[in-house]
Amino acid sequence: MKGYNPQEIEEKWQRIWDERGIYNVSEDPEKKKYYVLEMFPYPSGRIHMGHVRNYTIGDVIARYKRAKGYNVLHPIGWDAFGLPAENAAIQHGVHPAKWTYENISQMRQQLKRLGFSYDWRREVTTCDPSYYKWEQMVFVRMLERGLAYRKSSVVNWCPSCETVLANEQVEEGRCWRCKSRVESKEMEGWFFRITDYAEELLDGIEKLRGKWPERVLTMQRNWIGKSVGAEIDFPLIEPVDGIDALRIFTTRPDTIFGATFVCIAPEHPLAERLVKGKSQESEALDFINRIKKQSNVERLAEGLKKEGVFTGSYCLNPLTGETIPIYVANFVLMEYGTGIIMCVPAHDQRDFEFAREYGLPIRVVIKPEKEELNPESMRAAYEESGIMVNSGEFSGLPSEVGKEKIIEYIESKGIGKRKVNYRLRDWGISRQRYWGAPIPVIYCDRCGVVPVPDDKLPVELPLNVEFTGRGGSPLAKLESFVKTTCPKCKEPARRETDTMDTFVESSWYFLRYVSPDFDRGMFDREKVRYWLPVDQYIGGIEHAILHLLYARFFTKVLRDLGMCELDEPFSSLLTQGMVIKDGAKMSKSLGNVVDPDDMIKKYGADTVRVFMLFAAPVEKDLDWSDEGIEGAFRFLNRVWRLVTDSLSRIESFKGVRPDPNSVSDSARELLVKVHKTIRKVTLDLERFQFNTAIAAIMELLNSTSRFEIKGEEDVPVLRESVETIIRLLYPMAPHISEELWELVGYRETLVDKPWLEWDGKLLESESITIVIQVNGRVRSQIVMDSEADEDEVKRAAFSDERVKSYIAGKEIKKVIVVPKKLVNIVV
């Protein structure tokens, strides 16, 4: 018999699966649907071990669910827009389109070589105009509804690349590409109003509890950063430009009697007006300008040092009626709240530090339960709740109650209102880059911003551009693209040359898979109704916030545009850990990269898959081990050998059911093991515990290899065990399983075979080993019939010789019997 030759059999089965199109699915109202999706890859050139792990997990789930009778949708595509393509163009003169499509065709071959069960007819590529056309149309709808808008804001600017960088593209204050220092710059750009959905996105998190990893939910919750409080007016002593009060935001209205000064952000337009004509003017303006020049990164890096300068202006504390000073301070953020805060040094650590630095009064207004606070000797602010003191008519109230009372009071006086703030900012989607979906708007001197009409979509990305890496986006320099006519007045106009953030494409690709060729809209609504939501989404933890939050937001927008009925796109989320080597992420610079192709060449796809699943639980990081993959290869070889070695013995027993009552004891034991393994593997696959599922198959393999046939009636047991191993292994290592299945005499492929069921009766009727403890320590074991009642078990326990020696001459205080498990005798 031939040895295990993975190259040969893997190619064979991949061809057979492909020819028969066995993974192609369509809607079937008779069957329960299951949509399993892995995060699609960026076509960087070659797949890496992280992809292999991600897609192997998805493939096991897809094959298992299919065997369980589900109509399984399992698609793949390409997140094909992005900066690396443009860099390749700048550095090597290859056009981004050519580079991207060549990478895709290479990576597609690699995925096929791993035997993943995709419906390849549904492949989507986001840089294709037939894909981004729909995204542009949605952009226009959003624009019409005010969900997309243009504004000026402070961005990260790389002076060398002459482009904006997203926050995540800034590493320690430097450009991730050219390492030059990033500057802050005010720029116009397009935004999606994700903040309108802050509350719903937060609510949704509660509904995803238990189905998404808690960590991801926590990260999203923090990112949205809801805080409840109030906005309150602090009247100015001298009004400026008709403004007679400063509106502040606070989450602690209960501490307002302790507000001894007010701070304003340096970027706040009022800051400069407040200092005008004051003796502090030049000093204050110097400070404001110095802080404004710092990039966000620098300002955060300088971090803990609180700095400020007195404006020379005063306002009133609206509750105490006291006159208090107004400062400009570096720790106040323009983007959050109103950009102005009331400062309560006794009960806020930042205000406390600032007050100590500048000698401002500290007044205690919240008293802790037990201790007394002394403003002179306090070393830190008291930020917890307590009893209100020095707070006029509110004194004596618990601070939590006082918070409500003060809000009611200021609302009744018309000097403020209850207010909820979010840390979440609107999503800036403009990129001064070429390789992305053009933003479909036209600027007309007469009509202003005009969206491109639907019948003129898509705005195709022109391919005849030059890549110099200098002077901004190549699009802006392409006159034939920029020059156009206004759709409204037909006069000459200019096109927007920014492209969309690539996270926009990945915010809806999972919807496009249901009808990839649909040309009357983004997707076929009926098909979305059938397939969505995604039942199981699988990907790396690195997308915990960005992609997963954007996709949730975009789904809700599409719903509100009346395009679908979906609230949440991904019912369940599985985040797999990274693949690392020698304790570090695989990277070229560390020289610890393991190439999947090399491993496939050496061991075959099945071995690579099995190792990925066996080496660690899915959520944890997986440390690559050369010895480990050898072990996986050995395991498959042993399976191969078991089957081929037993072939002649079991060949003529096809379809013969073993009779548990007439087989030898060891055969019966094996048969029980077979069914226990079916149960274990099934339950493990349901919970995505692939490592223990494989361990269970290994155990069964060991038992079967050791098994010796005692008589003719034992042979069907051996056969059943062999067949079980093949079939349980199938979702993880499909090629070898198919080949061995054929070898043991079957013509139909395993793809079509329903999943195995275990025989519950066989497992129940077993005799059971019961552990006997004396004082909680294991002292003996007895074998009992599983039907035995408590008294029988007790009697057997007391008559056990070893137990007798432990309890001899001692008083029995208590006997605990756990049915079918153990007896504990306390003496």
Partner RNA sequence: GCCCGGGUGGCGGAACUGGCAGACGCAUUGGACUUAAAAUCCAAUGGGGCGUUGCCCCGUGUGGGUUCGAUUCCCACCCCGGGCACCA
What is the length of the chain?
A: 827
Binding of RNA by 698 (CB under 7 A): yes
Binding of RNA by 305 (CB under 7 A): yes
Binding of RNA by 584 (CB under 7 A): no
Site for RNA in 191-210 (CB under 7 A): none
Stretch that binds RNA, among 31-39, 217-225, 458-466, 720-728 (CB under 7 A): 217-225
Among residues 106 and 167, whose Cβ is nearest to RNA?
Answer: 167
What is the spatial order of strands in the sheet that 448-451 belongs to? 448-451, 441-444, 492-495, 483-485
DSSP symbols for 715-773: HHHHHHHHHHHHHHHTTTSHHHHHHHHHHTT--S-GGGSPPP---HHHHHTSEEEEEEE
Name the minimum Å distance from CB 405 to RNA: 17
Among residues 519 and 627, whose Cβ is nearest to RNA?
Answer: 627
Q: Could you count the other beta carbons within 10 Å of the beta carbon of residue 497?
A: 20
Site for RNA in 767-796 (CB under 7 A): 769, 771, 773, 775-779, 781
Binding of RNA by 1 (CB under 7 A): no
Site for RNA in 623-652 (CB under 7 A): 623, 625, 627-628, 630-632, 634-635, 637-638
What CA–CA distance (Å, rounded) separates 270 from 248?
A: 13
Binding of RNA by 356 (CB under 7 A): no
Among residues 219 and 378, whose Cβ is nearest to RNA?
Answer: 219
Q: In the stretch 494-533, what mask flags binding to RNA with x, by CB under 7 A?
A: ----------------------------------------
Binding of RNA by 339 (CB under 7 A): yes
Q: Contact, 424 vs 198, CB < 8 A?
A: yes
Place of tokens 């198919």: 738
What CA–CA distance (Å, rounded) separates 489 from 491?
A: 5
Nearest Cα to Cα of residue 354 among 318, 328, 391, 386:
328
Among residues 137 and 342, whose Cβ is nearest to RNA?
Answer: 342
Name the minimum Å distance from CB 624 to RNA: 10
Among residues 31 and 290, whose Cβ is nearest to RNA?
Answer: 290
Binding of RNA by 814 (CB under 7 A): yes
Nearest Cα to Cα of residue 406 among 550, 395, 658:
395
Among residues 304 and 463, whose Cβ is nearest to RNA?
Answer: 304
Among residues 566 and 826, whose Cβ is nearest to RNA?
Answer: 826
Nearest Cα to Cα of residue 270 among 249, 246, 290, 295:
246
Among residues 27 and 298, whose Cβ is nearest to RNA?
Answer: 298
Q: Which residues contact 547 (CB under 8 A, 6 or more apart)?
A: 39, 503, 506, 507, 539
Residue 795, φ and ψ in degrees, nearest 5: -60, -45
CA atoms within 13 A on the CB side of 534: 30
Amino acid sitting at position 785: D
State which of residues 337, 345, 428, 438 lies at the interface with RNA (CB under 7 A). 337
Amino acid sitting at position 372: E
Site for RNA in 714-773 (CB under 7 A): 769, 771, 773
Site for RNA in 414-453 (CB under 7 A): 421, 423
Among residues 449 and 778, whose Cβ is nearest to RNA?
Answer: 778
Among residues 77 and 345, whose Cβ is nearest to RNA?
Answer: 345
Name the minimum Å distance from CB 155 to RNA: 15
Among residues 470 and 706, whose Cβ is nearest to RNA?
Answer: 706
Site for RNA in 14-33 (CB under 7 A): none
Name the minimum Å distance from CB 16 to RNA: 28
* Rounded (10°) CA dihedral 763, 764, 765, 767: 90
Stretch that binds RNA, among 83-91, 131-139, 327-335, 409-417 (CB under 7 A): 327-335
Among residues 150 and 638, whose Cβ is nearest to RNA?
Answer: 638
Name the minimum Å distance from CB 403 to RNA: 11
Among residues 363 and 512, whose Cβ is nearest to RNA?
Answer: 363
Collapsed DSSP state (helix, strand, coil) of residue 674: helix
Which tokens hold the place of 630? 């050898």
Burial 673-697 (b: 16+ CB within 10 A, else e): bbbbbbbbbbebbeebbbbebbebb
What single DSSP character describes residue 437? P
In Å, how far from its chain's centre is CA 480?
Answer: 41
Q: Could you count the other beta carbons within 10 Å of the beta carbon of residue 559?
A: 14
CA atoms within 13 A on the CB side of 427: 26
What CA–CA distance (Å, rounded) separates 338 from 69?
A: 56
Binding residues for RNA, how many (CB under 7 A)?
A: 82
State which of residues 32, 98, 207, 215 lies at the interface with RNA (CB under 7 A). 215
In Å, how far from its chain's centre is CA 536?
Answer: 12
Name the minimum Å distance from CB 462 to RNA: 36
Site for RNA in 536-555 (CB under 7 A): 541, 545
Site for RNA in 248-277 (CB under 7 A): 249-252, 265
Stretch that binds RNA, among 138-146, 187-195, 339-347, 471-479 (CB under 7 A): 339-347
Angstrom CA distances, 51 to 257, 460, 608, stand at: 58, 31, 12
Name the minimum Å distance from CB 271 to RNA: 13
